[in-house]
Amino acid sequence: MSRASGRRRGTAVVRGVIGIAAFIALAQIVGETGIIKQNVLPLVSTMLAQAARLAGNGRFLADIGATLEAWAAGLAITVIIAVPAGLLLGSVPVVRVATRAVVEFLRPIPSVAFILLVNLLIGPGLRMTLTVIVYGSLWPILYNTMAGLDDVDPVAKETLRAFGFGRLAIIRFVSLRSAAPHIATGIRIASAVSLILAIATGYQTGRINGPGIGAFIADANSGAGNTPLVLGAVVWTGLLGVVLNMLLVTAERLLLPWHKASLMETS
Amino acid sequence: MSERKRAPRRLPSRRGGDSRRGSKPAERSEALARRKTQRAAAAAPPLGGGGRRGPKPAARQRGLGAKDTWRGGKHSWLSRWVVLACGVALWQLWAGHRHSAFFPPPSTIWSAMHQKWFNGPAGHLFLNSNATGNILPSLGRIGLGLAIVVAIGVPLGIAIGRSRVLMDYLDPLLQFFRSIPVVTAAPVFIALFKIGTQMEVATIVAGTIWPLLLNTIDGARSVDPVQVETARAFRYTAWVRLRWLIFPSTLPSIFTGLRLALSLSLILMVFSELVGSSNGIGYEMDQANSAFNLPDLWSALVLLGILGYLMNAILYLAERYVLAWHRASHG
């Protein structure tokens, strides 16, 4: 069984590498033949070389550090707010019904639109970035926590209730554990949102807002615009997203061993 | 022969234990839903096309297994608007008291909205020319973007979800591109498409394709293998299986993806209009921002909230209509 799944994974890795290589080759050919003009979109090789050079750029590394800091702090605050809120909304129907209109109205307001307002309200800085991040990444965790509570096996809940356990004990021993995979999924989505907003805020407000990848891209784009530099940074943000997602998946696997089956294929 | 060509009304559905390999949350909830379906014996079959023609669920399960994330009775409908109204009233009192420049009272925001968009003739639904000149282009971009995303995402997602080989080749690429914040790619889109509708639609497509694609892949992958095998054993052609089994089974996931894509498209619409546009809601916000006009900024936010709410409600109705058979299992 394990050997078979090992071979399966080997095949997947080989095919994945072939896929990436084929894509890079194709993109390079498209650039070389001039289907897309090189002054509009530089060659893939130029892009990758630029990305490699950025790894030795002290300022860019400091910017990555600042973005990661905003990401981590924003995600932590969001989890601390959203999971209890989700538990409350998910387990007390009255609260859920009462807040429905407010939540449904607030949720679709684009977090990006808030950047302008929050910038005026709080002024540039990490606090403003964190406010935007928390607002944007709140929803996936909130909704997933609630969906998780909906999916709790009612028989298990009824059983505990029949044995005289209180509401809190049921939440603690059944609901929370059963909803944990959903919450973890919500956190993973929120992580992606958090990274995007950390960068978007920096890009929108520029360097006044402090260091960050967003500010770096805004700088690279100012004036005549250094497209290869922008794209080099974009490649790094993509890699950053992949790595952060992998970290969260690993953490999920360690913390929630009972649902490892779901992590075989994380998309 | 003609018997065989006709689409299956109902394939024998498996009863008893759930021995499927995966137990991913989405997958699991589907399995759960399916079990509930079987419990509510009269529920519509998961197969059978649009299902509207299928038998109506005789007894809808409420109570224990009923799922009502946001749904409630008529009372709840009333009470949640009361709460919203109370919140707005409190805000009005507080803001009238504080005279804060940053938090104008709702009445000020409302009159700003009225001034800006809604003082037009009744024949135009009270929309004035400023509204038709800015709100409609924004909505048009979202509509066009989402149409393109569905046209690409659904077929591609089903293809990748049903083919192990395709999945292996493309998965790392998808993971990488999904992780790139579209926002950072905005300079590239501006260079590629120039400022204007093209660039905005491209931004929306590039950002919203991922939730739809990944959800469709997930949905297509978790079609009940027993049903697929059964359909194959009955020698239904690949097209019939796709049209009547795989596509309907994937539809709930497609709608989940669409719901995510919808809220994301609103964000990207605003963002792309902030970055480069000569009309649209985002452009108006940018104007209000640089003029330090907070009532206008707030009114744009409120408008976005209303638009998002309406779009979600429309999608919800469409989902309820299309997935009537699926909802039967959700109570």
Give me B172's structure tokens: 């790392």
Give the tens place of pLDDT for each residue, B202-228: 999 998 998 899 889 988 888 888 888
Which amino acid does the sequence have at B37?
Answer: T
The Cα B302–Cα B307 span in angstroms is 9
For chain A, which residues make up each domain, given as ranges?
A: 1-38, 42-265
> pLDDT value at position A2?
58
Q: What value does the mean pLDDT take over residues B185-198? A: 79
C-alpha atoms less than 13 angstroms from C-alpha of A183 in its C-beta half-sphere: 24
Point out the residues of chain A with pLDDT beneath 50: 1, 261-267
Contact B141, B269 (CB under 8 A): yes
> pLDDT value at position B30?
45
CATH of span A42-265 = 1.10.3720.10
Q: Which residues of chain A are within 8 Å of residue B27 when distances are taken between CB atoms? A: 262
> pLDDT value at position A122?
84
What DSSP string describes B33-75?
Answer: HHHHHHHSTTSPPS-STT-TTSPPPSS---STT---SS---HH
Of B54-58, B77-81, B248-252, B292-296, the one with minimum mean pLDDT is B54-58
> pLDDT value at position B14?
39
Give the tens place of pLDDT for each residue, B82-113: 777 888 888 888 877 777 777 788 888 888 88
pLDDT higher than 50, residue B44:
no
To the nearest whole Å, the CA of B58 is away from the closest chain A CA by 22
Q: Which residues of chain B are within 8 Å of residue A151 when distances are taken between CB atoms? A: 25, 28-29, 32
> pLDDT value at position B38?
39
Give the tens place of pLDDT for each residue, B248-306: 889 988 988 898 888 888 888 888 888 777 788 888 888 888 887 888 888 888 888 88
Which residue of A lies nearest to B31 if distances are taken between CA atoms? Answer: A151
Q: Is the dihedral of CA B123, B126, B128, B132 positive or negative?
A: negative
The Cα A11–Cα B205 span in angstroms is 32
Which amino acid does the sequence have at A129?
Answer: T
Q: What value does the mean pLDDT take over residues B66-80? A: 54
Neighbours of B163 (CB within 10 A): 14
The Cα B199–Cα B46 span in angstroms is 40
Q: Which residues of chain B are within 8 Å of residue A227 when distances are taken between CB atoms? A: 187-188, 191
pLDDT higher than 50, residue B58:
no
The answer to whether the Cβ–Cβ distance between A154 and B218 falls below 8 Å is: no
Q: What percent of chain B has pLDDT over 70?
A: 72
The answer to whether the Cβ–Cβ distance between B181 and A241 falls below 8 Å is: yes
> Where does the pLDDT of residue B75 fall: very low under 50, low under 70, confident under 90, or very high at 90 and above?
low
Which residue of A lies nearest to B23 if distances are taken between CA atoms? Answer: A262
* Spatial CA neighbour of A74 closest among A167, A194, A156, A161: A194
> pLDDT value at position A131?
92
The answer to whether the Cβ–Cβ distance between A110 and B188 falls below 8 Å is: no
For chain B, which residues make up each domain, given as ranges?
A: 72-101, 104-330
> pLDDT value at position A3?
65
* Spatial CA neighbour of A80 closest among A140, A168, A141: A141
b/e code B61-77 from CB counts within 10 Å (16+ = b): beeebebeeeebeeebe
Of the candidates A19, A36, A203, the beta carbon closest to that of B184 is on A203
Q: What helix, strand, coil percent values describe chain B, rounded to 5?
A: 70, 0, 30
pLDDT higher than 80, residue B56:
no
Q: Which of A30-34, A252-256, B74-78, B230-234 has the highest mean pLDDT?
A: B230-234
- For A76, phi then psi, to 5°, come to -60, -45
> pLDDT value at position B77?
63
The answer to whether the Cβ–Cβ distance between A262 and B25 falls below 8 Å is: yes
The model carries a pTM of 0.74
What DSSP string describes B223-286?
Answer: S-HHHHHHHHHTT--HHHHIIIIIHHHHHHHHHHHHHHHHHHHHHHHHHHHHHS-SSSHHHHHH
> Where does the pLDDT of residue B76 fall: very low under 50, low under 70, confident under 90, or very high at 90 and above?
low
- A152 versus B230: the higher-pLDDT residue is B230
> Where does the pLDDT of residue B145 fall: very low under 50, low under 70, confident under 90, or very high at 90 and above?
very high
> Where does the pLDDT of residue B74 fall: very low under 50, low under 70, confident under 90, or very high at 90 and above?
low
The answer to whether the Cβ–Cβ distance between B180 and A182 falls below 8 Å is: no
- B32 versus A26: the higher-pLDDT residue is A26
Q: What value does the mean pLDDT take over residues B6-24? A: 40
> Where does the pLDDT of residue B330 fall: very low under 50, low under 70, confident under 90, or very high at 90 and above?
low
Helices A176-205 and A213-221, packing angle to 10 deg: 30
**Right CATH number for B104-330 from 1.10.4160.10, 3.40.50.620, 1.10.3720.10, 1.10.1040.10?**
1.10.3720.10
| ipTM, two decimals | 0.75
